[in-house]
Amino acid sequence: MTTRGRRSRWGAAALTLTLALAACSDDDGGEGADPTSEDGTGGETEDSTGITLVQEGSALAAIQERGSVRCGTRDALPGFAVLTPDGDHVGFDADFCRVIAAAILGDAEAVEFVDLATEARFTALQSGEIDVLVRNTTWTAGRDGSEGATFLQPTFYDGQGMMVAADSPYQTVADMDGATVCVAAGTTTEGNVASEFSRLGITPTEVLSFPEPELIQDAFIAGRCDGWSSDVSQLTGLRSEFPDGPEALRILEDVFSKEPLAPAVADGDTELAQAVEWAIFATIQAEEFGIDSTNIAEFAESEDPLIRTFLGTAEEGGTFDPGLGLPPDYAVQVITQVGNYAEIFEEHLAPLGLDRGLNTLWSEGGLLYAPPYR
């Protein structure tokens, strides 16, 4: 009898320790943060977590306190974000991360890039692992509504297309009855292919989705699929980097979906959302004013009141502060450190062979339109 009692007490001690351990292992992780095990087991769970989560504007304040923007992106999408051997992120999306950092913190390099897998992107946003998602992500109602994300001003208006081998018989998507199409898993493209094929009254043999573009490329080269469907901008980028040379591939003319690629922040973060949105507007507005990183000095003394307000130049009644939580000269920082929309586009997307298409200013028939800054 005694044996039993004693042994069981052992077990009890064991479990207590287990718990302490489990709680400790949490501590190890919380780089700097420190939820002690007492907190954890104390029972004031709701308040201790609830406060930090819903506090208004905490994200923007947290960024300012931290001194860097955690920007979710990817490491291998030519033109949008590519990781160089030196560990730099280069591309259109990467530059918009810098735009945001320049606007909020005045330092375009104050970005922590977080490379995310497709299916991890929204959870990273939801769990607060990243502040803002600039990862070639299509704005859809479903995502806006049920992924806990708030989508902002699109940085790129895209559409889905189809790429085939140059020597294949297909001229349009309608020719592709019975074809095998490869797409990236977890993107809007999967559903779009199926919808488009059924709209055209044809059926694909298979729509194969792969977790990463590299794998699609391997499969495509091997002849596993006839078509490779994705956003036209992505296809253009992938084609430009294709191992057998871009001539080996052909992008069909059909564009069969609307894909506004927009940055997103977590739901309930109005302040951060506004800051990010106006950072993007600044690049568009600057292009409209004709201000770029090379000539911005000439505008410092501009007489145009709209430009003076935009650049945060001191006026008679003081400096204009719209109350967005951004420094008054944020547009100057964005333009000098990164550039205006046209510059970013020309640097990263034009070399792939993309033309501006829908992504020109409204005044030139495009969709880029920044609300007035006043």
Partner 1 sequence: MSTAPMSPATWVRHNLFRNRRDAITTVIAAVVVGWVVFQTLRFVFGTARWEVVRANLTLFLVGRYPADEQWRIVAVLIAAAAVAGLVTGVLTKRRRRAAIADDAPLPPLPFARRLGLIGARYWPALVLLLVLLLLARTSTPWVVAGAVIVAAVVGRLVGGALPPKVGIVLYALPVVLPFVALPFLTGPLGWDDWGGMMLTILLATVSMIACFPLGLLLALGRRSTLPALRGLSIGVIEFFRGVPLVALVLMSDVGLGFFFPRDALPGRVVRVTIAFTIFTAAYVAEIVRGGLQSVPRGQTEAAQALGLPPVRMMALVVLPQALRNVIPALVGQFISLFKDTTLVFIIGFLDVLSVADNVIQQPDFRGQGLFAESLVFAAALFWVGAYTLSRESQRIERRLGVGSR
Partner 2 sequence: MFFQAAVLAAVAAFGLWLAGNLRANSEATNIPLSYDYLGQPARFPIAGSSFRIEQNVRSAIIVGVGNTARVAVVGIVAATLIGTLIGIARLSTNWLVSKAAKTYVELVRNVPLLVIIIFSYKALFLQLPRPQEATRIEGLLVLSVRDIAVPWSRVAEGKAPAVLGVLVVAGLAAWLVARWRRSVFDRTGQPARAGVASTAAFVVITAAGFVALGGPVDVTSPQFDEGVVSGGIRMSPEYAALLFALVLYTSSHIAEIVRGSIQAIPKGQTEAATALALAPGQRMRLVVLPQAMRIALPALTNQYLNLTKNSSLAVAISYFELTNITKLSIANRSPAVPSYGLLLVLYLALSLTIAGITNLVNRRLAVGDR
Contact residues toward partner 1 (CB under 8 A) are 2-15, 17-18, 21-22, 25-26, 28-31, 33-35, 48-49, 52-53, 62, 76, 87, 115-117, 119-120, 123-124, 126-129, 211, 214, 217-218, 221, 242-244
Sketch the per residue contact string, 128 through 157, with partner 2: x for CB under 8 A, - otherwise: --------------xx--xxx---------
Check binding of 23 to partner 2 (CB under 8 A).
Answer: yes
CB 63 within 8 Å of CB 105: yes
Segment contacting partner 2 by CB under 8 A, of 40-48, 302-310, 326-334, 341-349: 40-48
The whole-angstrom distance between residue 318's C-alpha and the CA centroid of its chain comes to 36
Cα separation, 44 vs 123, whole angstroms = 25
Q: Which does 206 bind (CB under 5 to 8 A by kind): partner 2, partner 1, none?
A: partner 2
How many other CB atoms are found less than 10 A from the CB of residue 143? 19
CB 89 within 8 Å of CB 103: no
Q: Which does 115 bind (CB under 5 to 8 A by kind): partner 2, partner 1, none?
A: partner 1
What residue type is 124 in one-letter code?
A
Residue among 230, 241, 219 nearest 185 (CA): 230
Q: Which does 244 bind (CB under 5 to 8 A by kind): partner 1, partner 2, none?
A: partner 1
Cα separation, 370 vs 310, whole angstroms = 12
Segment contacting partner 2 by CB under 8 A, of 7-15, 59-67, 72-80, 156-164: 7-15
Residue among 253, 261, 111 nearest 187 (CA): 261
Query: Could you tell me how many residues of this chain bind partner 2 (CB under 8 A)?
Result: 55
Sketch the per residue contact string, 86 through 125, with partner 2: x for CB under 8 A, - otherwise: --------------------------------xx---x--
- If the CB atoms of residues 244 and 304 are measured against partner 1, the closer one turns out to be 244
Smallest gap from Cβ 374 to partner 2, in A, equals 33
**Binder of partner 2 out of 75, 206, 241, 329 (CB under 8 A):** 206
Which residues, other chains included, contact 315 with Cβ-Cβ below 8 Å and sequence gap of 6+? 305, 308, 309
Q: Which does 353 bind (CB under 5 to 8 A by kind): partner 1, partner 2, none?
A: none
Supply the angle between the helices 330-337 and 92-105 in degrees, to the nearest 10: 140
Check binding of 177 to partner 2 (CB under 8 A).
Answer: no
In the β-sheet with 180-184, what is the strand arrangement from edge to edge? 206-210, 180-184, 227-231, 160-165, 249-251
CB 229 within 8 Å of CB 185: no
CB 148 within 8 Å of CB 125: yes
- Which DSSP symbol is given to 361? B
> If you compute the radius of gyration of the chain from its CA atoms, what whole number of angstroms results?
25
Residues 300-359 contacting partner 2, CB under 8 A: none
What residue type is 304 in one-letter code?
D
Cα separation, 299 vs 71, whole angstroms = 31
Smallest gap from Cβ 346 to partner 1, in A, equals 23
Specify the length of the chain in residues. 374
- If the CB atoms of residues 164 and 332 are measured against partner 2, the closer one turns out to be 164
- If the CB atoms of residues 8 and 319 are measured against partner 2, the closer one turns out to be 8
Check binding of 185 to partner 2 (CB under 8 A).
Answer: yes
Q: Which does 207 bind (CB under 5 to 8 A by kind): partner 1, partner 2, none?
A: partner 2
Return the structure tokens found at 257: 């979906």
CA angle centred on 97, ends 234 and 115, rounded to 5°: 65
Identify the residue whose tokens are 């977080």: 114
Q: What residues does 111 pair with on adjacent strands?
A: 69
Sketch the per residue contact string, 266 through 285, with partner 2: x for CB under 8 A, - otherwise: xxx-----------------
- Using CB under 8 A, list all residues that contact partner 2: 8-9, 12-13, 15-16, 19, 22-23, 39-43, 45-46, 49-50, 53-54, 118-119, 123, 126-127, 142-143, 146-148, 178, 180, 185-187, 190-191, 193-195, 206-211, 215, 218-219, 222-224, 266-268
